[in-house]
Amino acid sequence: MRVILDNIVGCAWYEVIPSPAYNNLTDEQASAALNLARQIATENVSLHVLNQRSKQWRDKQLKLEF
């Protein structure tokens, strides 16, 4: 969820969307999130790359950990 939300708004999602995000997404943001989730599921975009971007926006270490 963090990775998707960060990537649809281009920064840490909570800087743009009030918490809880699922109650406060605009229709456009919800559509963008669904589209990105589908792209991740079908491997049309790299989850690893999206996660790295999200971590950079949050000034975290650039290491994928699950």
Other Cβ atoms closer than 10 A to 61 = 7
- Cα–Cα distance, 42 to 25 (Å, whole number): 23
More confident residue, 64 or 41: 41
**pLDDT at position 53, please?**
95
The single-letter DSSP state of residue 42 is T
pLDDT, average across residues 28-46 = 97
pLDDT, average across residues 14-37 = 97
Buried b (16+ CB within 10 A) or exposed e, 6-16: bbbbeeebeee
- Structure confidence at residue 39 as a pLDDT band (50, 70, 90): very high
| Six token digits for residue 21 | 């995000």
More confident residue, 62 or 60: 60
Checking if the pLDDT of 64 tops 70, the result is no
Q: Which residue has the tokens 């790295």?
A: 52
